[in-house]
Amino acid sequence: TQASWDVFRPREQATAQIAMAGDVARLQSWLADPSQRPAWQLTGQLNCEAVVQPAEQRTSAQVTAVVENLLATSQTGSTWREPAIQWTCKASYDASTDTVFADQVDCVSNLVEMQARGKLAGLTTARNLDCQGQVKYDLARLSVLLAPDFNGGVTLTGQESRSFTFS
């Protein structure tokens, strides 16, 4: 992990640049409830870069993360492999309203492509999510992921695209 901060700027104009790399399994163990067995056991390598800076009475962030060589193993033993999953996000936090605004969130992998935007109001209290976007997915790749749970009796083909909304 590397981080830099320009200490010669006033605090309200400070910019931070952060670079992180780590093991996905270790990150999962830090974030998981130790009393619960996770539905999926993850392995892979995470690389992440972020730039955080003030912008128009908010704190803005641009984040790029890549998970390489992801292997997800379910409790039933089925596996999902992705050579790379890339995630990018442009977001900001408004402390006066305690709201995170996600102006752009993109996720790209062999299985799925997703674009979304939205907000999380009451970040430190109620955490009310309002999100909308578009997801495209490859049904043949999805059927391989689902096959062990259906004793191999599921075959899907084609590509689909759907809009989604969470409120």
What is residue 45's predicted lDDT score, i.e. its pLDDT? 97
CA distance 75 to 68: 22
- The set of residues, in sequence order, having a beta carbon less than 8 Å from that of 126 and lying 6+ positions away, is none
What is the three-class DSSP state of 32?
A: coil
166 closest CA partner among 124, 105, 125, 108: 105
Half-sphere exposure of 148 (CA within 13 A, CB side): 9
CB-based contact 44:27 (threshold 8 Å):
no
- pLDDT tens for the chain, 167 residues: list them: 555 555 555 555 667 888 999 999 999 999 888 899 888 899 999 999 999 988 778 889 999 999 999 999 988 887 889 999 999 999 999 988 999 999 999 999 998 999 999 999 999 999 999 999 999 998 888 877 777 667 767 778 888 899 999 99
Q: What is the pLDDT of residue 164?
A: 95
